C-alpha cells in the first residue's frame, strides 16, 4: 500500500467539490437521468400495474376507486396513481415519459431534500456527497430511476418525515414535529399502505429512548398528530366507501395482507433465519459501490465518534432500528430500502470526510477496488463492438470510445493520490449510466415494443366492438397488465374481465380459458411472457 502524506483537509465543498466539478456532476447526472426517461416502452411488472390502474381511473372517470380490468384493486391506495394521472394530463398522452415523470421529479426533490438537511447539520461536502451517492447507487441509477414505480416518491416522503423528527426535536417544536411527520405518514400511507406507520413508530420510539425523552411521546401534540393522520386517510376511505358499498374490513384485510405477506408470519422460521443471514450482503450488492465503505464502521471508537455529532447519531440509530422491518422480512426487494439508505450513507460520508484519510487501510482497500472496477468496465465496455446484440447499434464504436475513454481517465485519477476518490466514483457512476443508456437500453426496447405492438394490433381488430378479457386470461392474478394497458389506451376503453359470453362482443382468451368452448378466431396476440392468446367471438 503506498504511503500518502496528505494532510487532513477541512470539510468544505470548495475543497472537495469545487464549483466547476460539482456543477459538472450535477449537469451530467441530470443529462443521463432525463435523456432516456421515456426511451423504453412500458415495463412488464409493477410499473405496468401503476400505469393500468391510473389509465382505468381516467377512462372510468372514477378517481376514488382503483381498478384492474374493471375489478376493484385494494393493494395500494391511489395517491401515486393521482400523480401519474396528473402527468398524463400535463403531457396530453399516455407515454412512458409521462408515466415516469412523477418518479423523476420525486427523485430530484429527494436529492435536494437529502442535501438540504445534511448541509444544515454537517458540512457541504458531506451533504453533496450523500445526496449524489443516493441518486447514483447501482440500484437507483440502473433500475429504479428508469421506471414509474411508487418507491422513489415514497422514499422521499419517508426520509423527509424522519429528518423532521430530528429537526423539530432540536428546536423543541413538538407541535410542528408531530403535525408535519404525521401528515407525511398519512401521505406515505396513501402511497403504499401500512409500512409508513411502522417507520414512524420505530423512528420516534428509537430516538426518544436514545435521548431519554420518552415523556415527549405523550405530548398533547402527539395525539393531535395521530388525529391528523386519521383525518387525512379517513377522508379518502370515507369517500371510497360512500361510492362503493363494501365492508371496510375487506379493504383493511388486503392492506394488512400486503404488508404481512413478505414477513416471517408467512415464510416461517427457516426462511426468516436464512434471510437474516444473507440480508446484509444483499443490501451491499444493491447499493454498490458506496456501501463498500461500510468497512469504515469497524473501529474501536465508533460509538464515541457517532455520539460526537447528534445528527449523525440520529441517522445511525434510525437506520439501525427501521432497517429491522426489512431485515426480518424474507421477501424484500432492494427498492424498498431506498428511503433508508441516505441514513446509512450520511454516516459513511461523515466517517469518510471527517474521520478517515487515504492512508487508512480499510479505506485504501475500498478505493483500490473502485479503481480496479472502473478499469475493468473501461476495458470491458469494448465488448459492445463485438457482441452480436450491440454491434449493430448506430454509432456503437464512437459511443463505446467515449464511455471507455471517460472511464479510463477516471480510473487514472482514482489511481493517483487523492483525498476525495469518493467524488471521483460519483463521476464513474454517471458515466456508467451514460454507457447503460447508449449500449444496454436499446437491447431492451425490442422485447417491450413487441408486447405493445402485438397488443395494439389486436386492439385494432376490435374497434367498433365491445372487448373483454375472458376468464383468467387477464386480471390482477395474471402478468398481463402491460397488455391490458396498451389495449385500453389504444381503444380508449377499459378491458374488463368477465366469464360471461356476451353476444356481439369480442374476447381476449388463452387456450386454457378456451378449452371446450366453441369460438371463431378473429386474431392473435402474445401476452407476457410469450404467452399466446386469441381475439375470438364465441359461437352459440
> Looking at residue 237, what is its pLDDT?
92
> What is the gyration radius of the CA atoms in the chain, in angstroms?
26
Residues 6+ apart with CB under 8 A from 224: 175, 178, 179
Range with the poorest average pLDDT among 83-97, 251-265, 339-353, 355-369: 251-265
Q: Of 261, 197, 231, 241, whose CA–CA distance to 72 is shortest?
A: 241
What single string gives the DSSP state of each residue in 332-343? --GGGGTTTHHH
Number of residues that make up the chain: 540
pLDDT tens-digit map of 139-172: 999 999 999 999 999 999 999 999 999 999 999 9
96-134: buried (b, 16+ CB within 10 Å) or exposed (e) per residue? bbbbbbbbbebbbebbebbbebbbebbbbbbbbbbbbbb
> Looking at residue 274, what is its pLDDT?
86
Range with the poorest average pLDDT among 37-41, 71-75, 210-214: 71-75
Range with the poorest average pLDDT among 90-94, 324-328, 426-430: 324-328
CA distances from 229 to 176, 180, 187, 232, 364 (A): 14, 10, 9, 5, 48
Range with the poorest average pLDDT among 69-78, 209-218, 263-272: 263-272
pLDDT tens-digit map of 438-468: 999 998 898 889 999 999 999 999 999 999 9
Query: Does residue 44 register a pLDDT over 90?
Result: no
**Interatomic CA distance for residues 291 and 271, integer angstroms:** 25
Amino acid at each position: 500500500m503506498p504511503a500518502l502524506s496528505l494532510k487532513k483537509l477541512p470539510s468544505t465543498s470548495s475543497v472537495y467539490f469545487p464549483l466547476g466539478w460539482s456543477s459538472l456532476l450535477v449537469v451530467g447526472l441530470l443529462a443521463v437521468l432525463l435523456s432516456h426517461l421515456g426511451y423504453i416502452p412500458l415495463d412488464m411488472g409493477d410499473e405496468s400495474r401503476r400505469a393500468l390502474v391510473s389509465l382505468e381511473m381516467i377512462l372510468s372517470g372514477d378517481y376514488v376507486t382503483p381498478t384492474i380490468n374493471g375489478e376493484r384493486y385494494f393493494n395500494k391506495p391511489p395517491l401515486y396513481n393521482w400523480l401519474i394521472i396528473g402527468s398524463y394530463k400535463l403531457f396530453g398522452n399516455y407515454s412512458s415519459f409521462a408515466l415516469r415523470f412523477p418518479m423523476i421529479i420525486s427523485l430530484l426533490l429527494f436529492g435536494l431534500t437529502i442535501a438540504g438537511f445534511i448541509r444544515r447539520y454537517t458540512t457541504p461536502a458531506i451533504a453533496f456527497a450523500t445526496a449524489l451517492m443516493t441518486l447514483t447507487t447501482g440500484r437507483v441509477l440502473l433500475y429504479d430511476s428508469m421506471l414509474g414505480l411508487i418507491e422513489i416518491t415514497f422514499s422521499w416522503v419517508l426520509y423527509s418525515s424522519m429528518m423532521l423528527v430530528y429537526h423539530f426535536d432540536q428546536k423543541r417544536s413538538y407541535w410542528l414535529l408531530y403535525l408535519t411527520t404525521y401528515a407525511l405518514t398519512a401521505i406515505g400511507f396513501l402511497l403504499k399502505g401500512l409500512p409508513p406507520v411502522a417507520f414512524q413508530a420505530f423512528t420516534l420510539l428509537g430516538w426518544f429512548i436514545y435521548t431519554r425523552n420518552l415523556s415527549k411521546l405523550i405530548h398533547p401534540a402527539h395525539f393531535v398528530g395521530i388525529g391528523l393522520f386519521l383525518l387525512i386517510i379517513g377522508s379518502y376511505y370515507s369517500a371510497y366507501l360512500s361510492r362503493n358499498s363494501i365492508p371496510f374490513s375487506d379493504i383493511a384485510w388486503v392492506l394488512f395482507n400486503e404488508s404481512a405477506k413478505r414477513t416471517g408470519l408467512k415464510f416461517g422460521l427457516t426462511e426468516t433465519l436464512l434471510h437474516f443471514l444473507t440480508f446484509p450482503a444483499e443490501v451491499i450488492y444493491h447499493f454498490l459501490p458506496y456501501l463498500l465503505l461500510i468497512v469504515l464502521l469497524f473501529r474501536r471508537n465508533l460509538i464515541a465518534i457517532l455520539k460526537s455529532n447528534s445528527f449523525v447519531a440520529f441517522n445511525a440509530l434510525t437506520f439501525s432500528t427501521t432497517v429491522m422491518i426489512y431485515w426480518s422480512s424474507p421477501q424484500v426487494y432492494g427498492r424498498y430500502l431506498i428511503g433508508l439508505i441516505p441514513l446509512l450513507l450520511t454516516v459513511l460520508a461523515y466517517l469518510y470526510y471527517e474521520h478517515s484519510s487515504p492512508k487508512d487501510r480499510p479505506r485504501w482497500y475500498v478505493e483500490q477496488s473502485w479503481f480496479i472496477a472502473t478499469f475493468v468496465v473501461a476495458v470491458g465496455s469494448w465488448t459492445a463492438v463485438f457482441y452480436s446484440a450491440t454491434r449493430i447499434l448506430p454509432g456503437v464504436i464512437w459511443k463505446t470510445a467515449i464511455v471507455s475513454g471517460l472511464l479510463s481517465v477516471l480510473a487514472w485519477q482514482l489511481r493517483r493520490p487523492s483525498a476525495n476518490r469518493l467524488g471521483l466514483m460519483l463521476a464513474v457512476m454517471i458515466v456508467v449510466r451514460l454507457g447503460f443508456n447508449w449500449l444496454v437500453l436499446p437491447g431492451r426496447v425490442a422485447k417491450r415494443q413487441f408486447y405493445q405492438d402485438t397488443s395494439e394490433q389486436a386492439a385494432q381488430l376490435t374497434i367498433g366492438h365491445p372487448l373483454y378479457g375472458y376468464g383468467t386470461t387477464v386480471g390482477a392474478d395474471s402478468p398481463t397488465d402491460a397488455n391490458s394497458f396498451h389495449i385500453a389506451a389504444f381503444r380508449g376503453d377499459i378491458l374488463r374481465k368477465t366469464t360471461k359470453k356476451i353476444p356481439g362482443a369480442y374476447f381476449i382468451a388463452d387456450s386454457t380459458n378456451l378449452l371446450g368452448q366453441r369460438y371463431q378466431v378473429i386474431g392473435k396476440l402474445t401476452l407476457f411472457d410469450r404467452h399466446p392468446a386469441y381475439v375470438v367471438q364465441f359461437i352459440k
